[in-house]
Amino acid sequence: MKNQDNFSAIQLIVDREGNWDSLRNAITKVASTIGVKGIMVLACESNGEVPESFEEFLRALPVPIFGGIFPALIADSEYLEHGNIVLGLKSELIVYLLPSLSDAALNYDEWLINTIPPETMLDAQTMFVFVDGLAPRVGGLMESLFNTFGLQGNFIGGGAGSLTIPNSRCLITSQGVLRDTAILVLPKLHSHVSVAHGWLPISRSLEVTSSEGNVILTLDWEPALDVYRSILESQVGSSIDFATVAPVYPLGIARLNMEYVVRDLVEAREDGGLVCVVNVPTGSLVQVMNGNEDSLLAAASTVRAMADSHADPISSQSVDIVIDCISRALYLGEKISLELNTLHSDVRPSIGAFTLGEIANSGHDCLEFHNKTVAVATLWDQ
């Protein structure tokens, strides 16, 4: 990767050994760098079970640390199934831990108001948000973050977790490696966030006439699965297997003056409900979506163009944080390298993760928890 000496905000190590010992060594080196005031860590789930000795190491660190464990990572245009990335930030930062994403009694609006002073976001201008990507109330947290902070700054982050081990500990903090938690980090860094996905509507608008959390029960007053199946069978001309078509025919929620927000479908229930990765409120208007390699890669080009249009004045002192959905990698297969090549800038380093949901807004759009989407946050020192 490119030399980081020109960017006073960071110290960067890409560790390709991919185990907890090598990660501890990288963190130790970055933490001992003069001027580092906080550390972001991106780790691969292939590191395996987290040892207690690593958690003790985290709790003893002299600087705040935050990050997560993900299915795969991004280093420039490289797809890493094994390895770790350690980013030392030389700007001051504040880390908040929201204790539960499954406690229905926790009022996120009240917690945010009582925990984070209102002027803090205006001062920082950027917030990193990492969550347990499989926790049930991620969507509710996004709503509360937007209700509380609105358009005061930019948000970037994603859902941590494993594709193979449910309910795994996946969030790296100064208290250890946690589950069912959200990390909210306010560094004093400028940012610009670009978001796109490349999925296009293929059906009429459908009203979500009843839903419970992340389960759509009815569309236009009919069982949701029946409506979804009917639309796809009219498209393909034959009966469908839900498990086969769901990854390439997600739902899209209409948003005013924005791209559709994509919702992955993960299960068809016997009662006709459709289980999504995150909640879809009753009253939402949705459409069945579809994409192909060309449309997804075109979206990556759009993101790169948007990022470059805002980055020229600070290109020698910036870094790109790439948040890409693991389902895009699974869909594109070996062609994910084309997407990463497209997303990578020639003038600054790119680091990031393949996530279980993407958290982003551009400072003038509603904050969302996306699926099947790619986002790039260009960061530079204030």
Torsional class of 182: left (φ above 0), alpha (ψ -120 to 50), beta (otherwise)? beta
Which of these, 169, 191, 139, 98, lies nearest to 359 by C-alpha position? Answer: 139
- Return all residues near 207 (Cβ < 8 A) that are at least 6 apart: 219, 220, 283, 284, 285, 286
Q: Are 42 and 67 in contact (CB under 8 A)?
A: yes
Give 81's pLDDT tier (boundaries 50, 70, 90).
Answer: very high
Based on the number of CB atoms within 10 Å of its own CB, is 104 exposed (0-12), middle (13-18) or buried (19 or more)? exposed
Which pLDDT score, from 0 to 100, does residue 311 have? Answer: 61
pLDDT tens-digit map of 272-313: 999 998 889 999 999 999 999 999 999 999 999 999 887 655
Question: Which CATH number applies to 200-290: 2.60.40, 2.40.10, 1.10.260, 3.40.50?
Answer: 2.40.10
Decide if pLDDT at 253 tops 80.
yes
What is the average pLDDT across 257-263? Answer: 86
Which pLDDT score, from 0 to 100, does residue 5 have? Answer: 38
Q: Where are the alpha helices (DSSP H) in 18-126?
A: 20-31, 52-60, 108-115, 118-124
Decide if pLDDT at 94 tops 50.
yes
Decide if pLDDT at 2 tops 80.
no
pLDDT tens-digit map of 18-59: 999 999 999 999 999 999 999 999 999 999 999 999 999 999
The percentage of residues in the chain with a pLDDT greater than 90, rounded to a whole number, is 80
Domain boundaries of the chain, sorted by first residue: 10-196+295-381, 200-290
Decide if pLDDT at 258 tops 90.
no
Q: Are 354 and 323 in contact (CB under 8 A)?
A: no
At residue 32, the 3 state secondary structure works out as coil
Q: Give the chain's length.
A: 382
User: 354 - beta bridge partners?
Assistant: 72, 324
Of residues 124 and 40, more confidently modeled: 40
Which pLDDT score, from 0 to 100, does residue 363 have? Answer: 61
pLDDT tens-digit map of 125-179: 899 999 999 998 999 999 999 999 988 889 999 999 999 888 899 999 999 999 9
Q: Say how far apart CA 229 and CA 153 lie, in whole Å.
A: 41
Which pLDDT score, from 0 to 100, does residue 313 have? Answer: 52
Give 382's pLDDT tier (boundaries 50, 70, 90).
Answer: low
Give 213's pLDDT tier (boundaries 50, 70, 90).
Answer: confident
Which pLDDT score, from 0 to 100, does residue 28 have? Answer: 97
Of residues 6 and 36, more confidently modeled: 36
What is the residue-wise DSSP string for 106-127? --HHHHHHHHS-HHHHHHHBEE
Element (H, E) at 192: strand 189-196
User: In the structure encoding, which two tokens stand for residue 169, read together?
Assistant: 């500990």
Which pLDDT score, from 0 to 100, does residue 7 have? Answer: 45
Decide if pLDDT at 6 tops 50.
no
Which pLDDT score, from 0 to 100, does residue 362 have? Answer: 67
Decide if pLDDT at 122 tops 90.
no
Which pLDDT score, from 0 to 100, does residue 160 have? Answer: 98
At residue 102, the 3 state secondary structure works out as coil
Element (H, E) at 306: helix 293-311
Decide if pLDDT at 71 tops 70.
yes
Q: Are 275 and 215 in contact (CB under 8 A)?
A: yes
- Return all residues near 354 (Cβ < 8 A) that are at least 6 apart: 70, 71, 72, 73, 74, 324, 325, 326, 328, 329
At residue 99, the 3 state secondary structure works out as coil
Give 315's pLDDT tier (boundaries 50, 70, 90).
Answer: very low
Counts of helices then strands in the chain (DSSP H, E):
10, 27
User: 380 - beta bridge partners?
Assistant: 190, 318
- Return all residues near 334 (Cβ < 8 A) that are at least 6 apart: none
